[in-house]
């Protein structure tokens, strides 16, 4: 792969505060190494802005390893960008070409209030988890793993659902701004394990109802959430959540 430096033209959403109007601002970023991640390219932009006495672009990030879910950006209309199964922090500039024009904006959903520039408040997802996405247990030594047999199919599916990093890309991609894939993944991975059985009915009712209270839209099976998910979680989780909810409500 060539190490030739690139020039990237950005169109970035800037908004000083939730109550202030926002707009797209154009920037040109020279000296972009194709080995850089997308966030490192933004670091380079912010260094250039700071050197000119301008306010850097605010964006959220933490691990830069694709596991924390905070690098929430819509890149050229796609949450996390064009590389499938990749969070924005692990999207590399080699997937772009010299002279490319790239539009970057925040997640847009009523349940994700704007904070500044590319940063939105995603604590609505935390409240869904707090409503039941956990297992209540007494502290103490863990039981031997062999004492709780789990089928290979169930353990594989539970692991796939547990891979959700709570980034909210599913919400940003969905035309209804639904959090169904996120909520379903958190419900599903516990429902498939014996440790989750005692609170199974209460969990799905509380989490689904909290999702609705937060103002997320409903799922209408567009499938955009699965396509945008950096962990490629299947929408089969949503079907499972619906079955779990119906059984819990009717007492089956």
Same domain, 45 and 107: yes
Tokens representing 105 are 């904006």
**Residue 24 domain boundaries:** 6-115
Angle at alpha carbon of residue 228, lines to 82 and 244, rounded to 5°: 170
The predicted pLDDT at position 137 comes to 74
Tokens representing 171 are 């919400």
Tally of domains in the chain = 2
Same domain, 89 and 206: no
Nearest-angstrom CA–CA distance, 231 and 13: 26
User: 0.95 cut: is pTM over it?
Assistant: no
The CATH number of residue 156's host domain is: 1.10.1060.10
Same domain, 230 and 128: yes
Tens digit of pLDDT for each residue in 85-121?
999 999 999 999 999 999 999 999 999 999 999 999 9
Same domain, 129 and 86: no
Same domain, 126 and 231: yes
Same domain, 132 and 53: no
In a domain, 1, yes or no: no
The CATH number of residue 90's host domain is: 3.10.20.30
CB 167 within 8 A of CB 72: yes
Same domain, 206 and 221: yes
Range in 70-84, 94-108, 139-153 with the lowest mean pLDDT: 139-153
CB 188 within 8 A of CB 106: no
Same domain, 104 and 130: no
């Amino acid at each position: 792969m060539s190490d030739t430096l690139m020039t990237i033209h950005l169109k970035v959403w800037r908004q000083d505060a939730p109550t202030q109007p926002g707009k797209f601002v154009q920037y040109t970023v020279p000296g972009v190494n194709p080995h850089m991640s997308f966030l490192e390219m933004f670091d380079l932009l912010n260094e250039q802005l700071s050197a000119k006495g301008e306010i850097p672009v605010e964006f959220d990030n933490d691990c830069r390893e694709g596991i924390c879910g905070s690098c929430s950006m819509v890149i050229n209309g796609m949450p996390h960008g064009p590389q499938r199964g990749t969070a924005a922090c692990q999207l590399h500039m080699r997937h772009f070409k010299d002279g490319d024009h790239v539009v970057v904006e925040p997640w847009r959903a009523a349940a994700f209030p704007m904070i500044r520039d590319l940063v939105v408040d995603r604590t609505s997802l935390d409240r869904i988890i707090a409503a039941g996405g956990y297992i209540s247990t007494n502290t103490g030594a863990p039981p031997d793993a062999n004492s709780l047999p789990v089928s290979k199919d169930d353990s594989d599916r539970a692991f796939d659902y547990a891979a959700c990093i709570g980034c909210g890309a599913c919400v940003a991609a969905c035309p209804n701004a639904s959090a169904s894939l996120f909520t379903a993944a958190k419900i599903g991975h516990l429902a498939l394990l014996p440790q989750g059985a005692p609170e199974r009915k209460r969990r799905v009712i509380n989490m689904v109802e909290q999702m609705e209270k937060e103002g997320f839209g409903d799922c209408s099976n567009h499938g955009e959430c699965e396509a945008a998910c950096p962990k490629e979680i299947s929408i089969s989780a949503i079907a499972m959540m619906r079955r779990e909810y119906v059984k819990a409500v009717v007492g089956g």
